[in-house]
């Protein structure tokens, strides 16, 4: 969240664009990352042999179909990269259609890994799971237990059997999604088991700390959580106990995730402006992070992994997204960052105009993406799906009530989705279809698609809303 702490390194001096440190332009100029991204969505190399003339990228869908009919690949079908080459141009920018409208702010929205379920978490203790394949019919309506201010995060297990949800308390609750109970009221119609992240039960009542981010491991056996006591927690679901607590940062840890399927590497992002990389295989001997990623000037609000154990992105209160390669992280794990404006609070103040073009002198990021705003709440960002786009894009919600989509290589804004009336805290792209769902503080869950139904979106009913300063 936000905390009035001052971090200072006397050797730091911020640079204007064109200075000696960090990136001098938006977009990614790293050759290896660019090549890996292009390979994921490039047509088959034999395509040029069957097309008349020299094929120029991007190849049109008509030419791709012609090449397929001529069996350029020798397999009579598109490869995965061929499919991505076609699908990545059909962005979910039409609509939207309203899926649901609640009286409280929507904080969390996410598809299941197969796209069949969609989870939405709202401020007033409400979580809804929709069955996407059945026309967004409500699969489960959950009333959260012991809510503190809001649902801060949810995570659906890989097998879609269980859902965990967190709040600003040291207890994460788990719900059986596969049960026959549609109306799941905590400990009334169904038991919501509490997973204790604090050894002192009294701490829960005293708000000792809250959990801002929680994620399942790929095998579903563990969850990792980020908390306001500057720590990362790993909970073993089979043993039903905490297996690891890492005093990770010098401020609230707002985001955490496993780097890949192995579960060995963990990424974290904090209000101390740093992303850190943790290798559990050597943590017990070293007792410290494997490395740090410095470059943001203000606190990290969210991180997303590319899933390859190498690349990640982070959204931050300096109004930017950054792309990182952990092979280029710093080993200076004791680095103390500098807080640019000690009195600035993102929850209710505008970002200082004079800081928008400043750069960190030791910026280790591969690329920077700007245009959206990150104020009032922990705005989230993601890589676009690998299956349909080859992760060619990065997308994010924004305080200005929009969703932004950036080209990951050029850094250009390729789309801006305008519909909501309040900050879009979260948004999620369907893992296989050209569909995106945005969730906003106006209480609306909206679906964007390609090509859309051709209808204009219904007008929003403007309501006078109380300005929120927290989380």
Instruction: Render 291-328 in DSSP notation, one character per residue.
Output: EEE---SS-EEEEEE-SSSSEEEEEETTTEEEEEEGGG
**38 vs 371: which has the higher pLDDT:** 371
Check whether residue 202 and residue 126 sit in a common domain. yes
Q: For residue 341, what pLDDT is reported?
A: 81
Task: Kindly tell me if the per-residue pLDDT of 48 is higher than 80.
Answer: no
**398 vs 149: which has the higher pLDDT:** 398
Q: For residue 8, what pLDDT is reported?
A: 39
For the residues 183-195, what does the mean pLDDT come to?
Answer: 86
CA distance 27 to 339: 25
Tell me the pLDDT tens digit for each residue of 416-434.
Answer: 999 999 999 999 999 999 9
Confidence of residue 180 (pLDDT cuts 50, 70, 90): confident
Q: For residue 9, what pLDDT is reported?
A: 44
Name the percent of the chain in helix, strand, coil, to the closest 5. Answer: 10, 35, 55
Q: What does DSSP assign to residue 353?
A: G
Check whether residue 48 and residue 193 sit in a common domain. no
* 428 part of a folded domain: yes
* Percent of the chain clearing pLDDT 90 (strictly above): 66
**222 vs 179: which has the higher pLDDT:** 222
Check whether residue 109 and residue 192 sit in a common domain. yes
Domain boundary, last residue among 32, 62, 87: 87
**Count of domains in the chain?**
2
86-115: string of b/e by CB count within 10 Å (b at 16+)?
bbbbbbbbbbbeebbebeebbbbbbbbeeb
Check whether residue 80 and residue 104 sit in a common domain. no
Confidence of residue 22 (pLDDT cuts 50, 70, 90): very low
CA-closest candidate to residue 161, choices 107, 108, 211, 219: 219
* 459 part of a folded domain: no
Task: Kindly tell me if the per-residue pLDDT of 411 is higher than 90.
Answer: yes
Q: At how many degrees (to 10) do helices 61-69 and 80-87 cross?
A: 150
* 155 part of a folded domain: yes
Tell me the pLDDT tens digit for each residue of 6-15.
Answer: 443 434 556 6
Tell me the pLDDT tens digit for each residue of 388-404.
Answer: 999 999 999 999 999 99
Instruction: Render 85-127 in DSSP notation, one character per residue.
Output: HHHTTS-S-EEEEEEEE-SS-EEEEEE-TTSSEEEEEESSSEE
* 464 part of a folded domain: no
Check whether residue 415 and residue 345 sit in a common domain. yes
At 132 the three-state DSSP class reads: helix
At 114, list the tokens: 């197969």
Q: Strands (DSSP E) along 248-290, which ranges?
A: 253-258, 265-270, 275-279
* Percent of the chain clearing pLDDT 70 (strictly above): 86
For the residues 346-361, what does the mean pLDDT come to?
Answer: 92
Q: For residue 52, what pLDDT is reported?
A: 62
Q: For residue 23, what pLDDT is reported?
A: 47
Answer whether 109's CB lies under 8 Å from 397's CB: no
* 18 part of a folded domain: no
CA distance 214 to 230: 14
Task: Kindly tell me if the per-residue pLDDT of 359 is higher than 80.
Answer: yes
Q: What are phi and psi of 80, to 5 degrees?
A: -60, -40
CA distance 85 to 43: 6
Q: Which domain holds residue 64?
A: 40-87
**373 vs 459: which has the higher pLDDT:** 373
At 344, list the tokens: 């600035």
Which of 84-88, 110-114, 283-287, 467-471 is least confident? 467-471
Tell me the pLDDT tens digit for each residue of 50-59.
Answer: 666 656 778 8
* 23 part of a folded domain: no
At 453, list the tokens: 């139904």
CA-closest candidate to residue 267, choices 222, 329, 317: 329
Interstrand relation of 183-185 and 137-143 (parallel, antiparallel or unpaired): parallel
Check whether residue 79 and residue 176 sit in a common domain. no
Sign of CA dihedral 234, 290, 254, 428: negative
Kindly state the helix (H) or strand (E) to which residue 83 belongs, with its residue range. helix 80-87
* 31 part of a folded domain: no
CA distance 260 to 246: 19
At 45, list the tokens: 């190399």
Q: For residue 50, what pLDDT is reported?
A: 61
Burial of 200 (0-12, 13-18, 19+ CB in 10 A): exposed
| Range 241-250 contact pairs with CB under 8 angstroms and sequence separation of 24 or more | 242/196, 242/197, 244/280, 244/283, 246/278, 246/283, 248/276, 248/278, 248/289, 249/274, 249/276, 250/5, 250/7, 250/336
Q: For residue 6, what pLDDT is reported?
A: 40
Check whether residue 111 and residue 52 sit in a common domain. no
The CATH code of the domain that includes 387 is 2.130.10.10
Q: What does DSSP assign to residue 14?
A: -
| CA 132-135-140 angle, 5° bins | 60
Check whether residue 70 and residue 113 sit in a common domain. no
* 8 part of a folded domain: no
**159 vs 1: which has the higher pLDDT:** 159
| Mean pLDDT across the chain | 87
């Amino acid at each position: 969240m936000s905390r009035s702490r001052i971090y200072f390194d006397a050797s730091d001096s911020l640079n204007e664009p064109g200075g000696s440190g960090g990136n001098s332009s938006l977009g990614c100029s790293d050759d290896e990352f660019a090549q890996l991204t292009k390979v994921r969505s490039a047509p088959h190399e034999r395509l040029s042999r069957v097309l008349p003339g020299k094929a120029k990228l991007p190849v049109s869908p008509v030419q791709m179909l012609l090449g397929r009919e001529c069996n350029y690949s020798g397999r009579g079908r598109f490869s995965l990269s061929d499919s991505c080459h076609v699908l990545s141009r059909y962005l979910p920018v039409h609509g939207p259609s309203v899926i649901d409208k609640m009286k409280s702010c929507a904080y969390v929205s996410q598809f299941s890994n197969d796209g069949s379920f969609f989870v939405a978490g709202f401020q007033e203790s409400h979580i809804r799971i929709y069955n996407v394949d059945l026309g967004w019919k409500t699969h489960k309506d959950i009333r959260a237990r012991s809510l503190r201010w809001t649902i801060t995060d949810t995570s659906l297990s890989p097998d879609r059997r269980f859902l965990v949800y967190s709040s600003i308390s040291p207890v994460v609750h788990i719900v059986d999604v596969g049960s026959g109970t549609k109306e799941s009221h905590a400990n009334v119609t169904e038991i919501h088991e509490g997973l204790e992240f604090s050894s002192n039960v009294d701490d829960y009542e005293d708000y000792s700390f809250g959990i801002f981010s929680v994620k399942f491991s790929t095998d579903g056996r563990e969850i990792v959580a980020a908390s306001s006591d500057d720590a990362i927690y790993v909970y073993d679901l089979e043993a039903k106990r905490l297996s690891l607590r890492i005093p990770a940062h010098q401020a609230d840890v707002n985001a955490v995730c496993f780097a890949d399927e192995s579960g060995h590497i963990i990424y974290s992002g904090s209000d101390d402006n740093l992303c850190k990389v943790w290798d559990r295989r050597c943590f017990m001997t070293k007792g410290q992070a494997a490395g740090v990623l410095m470059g943001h000037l203000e606190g990290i609000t969210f991180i997303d992994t590319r899933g390859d154990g190498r690349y990640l992105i982070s959204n931050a209160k300096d109004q930017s997204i950054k792309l990182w390669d952990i092979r280029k992280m710093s080993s200076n794990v004791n680095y103390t960052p500098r807080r640019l404006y000690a009195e600035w609070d993102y929850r209710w103040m505008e970002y200082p105009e004079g800081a928008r073009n400043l750069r960190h002198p030791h910026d280790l990021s591969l690329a920077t993406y700007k245009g959206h705003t990150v104020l009032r709440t922990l705005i989230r960002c993601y890589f676009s799906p690998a299956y349909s786009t080859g992760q060619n894009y990065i997308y994010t919600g924004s305080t200005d009530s929009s969703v932004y989509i950036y080209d990951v290589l050029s850094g250009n804004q390729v789309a801006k989705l305008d519909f909501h009336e309040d900050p879009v805290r979260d948004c999620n792209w369907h893992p296989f279809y050209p569909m995106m769902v945005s969730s906003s503080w106006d209480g609306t869950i909206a679906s964007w698609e390609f090509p859309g139904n051709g209808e204009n979106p219904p007008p929003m009913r403007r309501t006078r809303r109380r300005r929120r300063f927290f989380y």
